[in-house]
Amino acid sequence: MSAAAGPRRAGPSGKWPRAQGFPAESTVGGHAAVSRVSAAFDRAATQQRAALVGYIPAGFPSVDGGIEAALAMAAAGADVIEIGLPYSDPLIDGPVIQEAVHRALVGGTTVADVLRTVAALATAGVPTLVMTYWNPVDQHGVARFAADLARVGGSGLITPDLTPEEAGPWLAAAAEHQLDPVFLVAPSSSDARIELITSVCSGFVYAASLMGITGARNTLSSHAAGLVSRVREHTKLPVAVGLGVSNGAQAAQVAGFADGVIVGSAFVQRLLSASSPAEGLARVGELAAELAEGVRSGG
């Protein structure tokens, strides 16, 4: 959705009018299609709350274990799931996710395993995006990756290191297969850069709350609210904030100004520190429930 649609306006209380919902169609590349991710954000908006987005890398703690963990997140209140494609040279991943990805790679996780994970979640009715650096997609073949992802019911890609200027082949493939291309904006992004990035996004805009790597933090970045406000000057798409949220109180804080709250490292840490797979699943579910309560109290 381009900036031509105009920004949403805050109400008298300063809250953003989530009840009005968001565009549920993707028109990137000239193709109109209902977006499962946009629909999930819209459902949250009608409930006057932010959406909860949970992340876990495929293949961690095992392929089946990762599927179970993602399903536990969804069952406890996550609206959208991000599945990370394990990659040997992460750019923005902090030590917690790096360790999980390392274990997934040592375990032999492949693109086929990522797709199997997405298929399991899609079958369960959970809107699922793959978060990946660009090289694995390029090596797989852009058109082939898009076709494979659509075939298993995936909703799109989050591509932290792909720039709009180099995204032409992916945008074309995403439009052909009705997938959401999600790009990142950062506090350092200029207004012109935000305009360009949001013009090629679909589903939502990923607002990285700080400059740096992923990881749960005790305090949230002071730049997050301002970045969300700046993005809203250029798009009607929902804006979700990631990097740093680790508990319900922080989720509530972010939900007070953003349309979505993205949590990854805190979930992964629960699995890393668990003494057994069963304990890990229980702790993931507990955290998801706490975060879901947070986004409801902060909206």
CATH of the domain at 90: 3.20.20.70
| Catalytic pick among 93, 113, 148, 259 | 93
Spatial distance between the Cα atoms of 243 and 212, rounded to a whole number of angstroms? 9
d(CA 21, CA 89): 38
Q: Which of 68, 79, 82, 148 is catalytic?
A: 82
Provide the domain count of the chain: 1
pLDDT value at residue 216: 43
Known catalytic membership, residue 68: no
Give which of 82, 32, 35 is closest to 237, Cα–Cα.
35
pLDDT at 123: 94
Per-residue model confidence (pLDDT) at position 95? 84
Helix and strand numbers, DSSP H then E, in the chain: 12, 11
259 part of the active site? no
Q: Which two tokens stand for residue 61?
A: 């703690």
Taking each helix axis from N to C end, the angle separating 111-123 and 63-75, rounded to the nearest 10 degrees, works out to 30
List, run by run, the mean pLDDT of 10-residue segments along the chain (299 residues).
34 38 45 74 95 97 97 97 87 79 95 98 95 95 98 96 95 96 94 96 89 45 85 96 89 95 94 95 97 88
Distance (Å, rounded) from C-alpha 16 to C-alpha 299? 9
User: What does each C-alpha distance from 136 to 148, 156, 277, 284 come to in angstroms?
Assistant: 13, 15, 29, 28
Mention every residue, 6+ apart, whose C-beta is less than 8 A from residue 95: 215
pLDDT at 43: 95
Residue 224 has a pLDDT of 87
Answer yes or no: are the C-beta atoms of 289 and 76 closer than 8 Å.
Answer: yes
Is residue 77 in some structural domain?
yes
- Say if 119 falls within a structural domain: yes
Q: What is the pLDDT of residue 23?
A: 47
Q: Which residues pair with 130 in a beta bridge?
A: 83, 157
Burial of 119 (0-12, 13-18, 19+ CB in 10 A): middle
Q: How many angstroms separate the CA atoms of 42 and 18, rounded? A: 8
Whether 139 is in a domain gets the answer yes
Distance of alpha carbon 23 from alpha carbon 129, whole angstroms: 18
Q: Is residue 30 part of a domain?
A: no
Domain membership flag for residue 21? no
Whether residue 29 is contained in a domain is answered as no
Residue 267: give the domain boundaries.
36-298
Whether 1 is in a domain gets the answer no
Q: Model-level pTM?
A: 0.86
Beta bridge partners of 242: 208
What was the pLDDT predicted at 212?
44
Asked if residue 91 is part of any domain, the answer here is yes
* Distance from C-alpha of 21 to C-alpha of 24, rounded to nearest angstrom: 9
Give alpha helix (H) positions in the chain.
Answer: 36-46, 63-75, 95-106, 111-123, 134-140, 142-151, 168-176, 191-200, 224-232, 248-255, 265-272, 277-298
pLDDT at 115: 98
pLDDT at 288: 97
The residue among 120, 21, 121 whose CA lies nearest residue 79 is 121
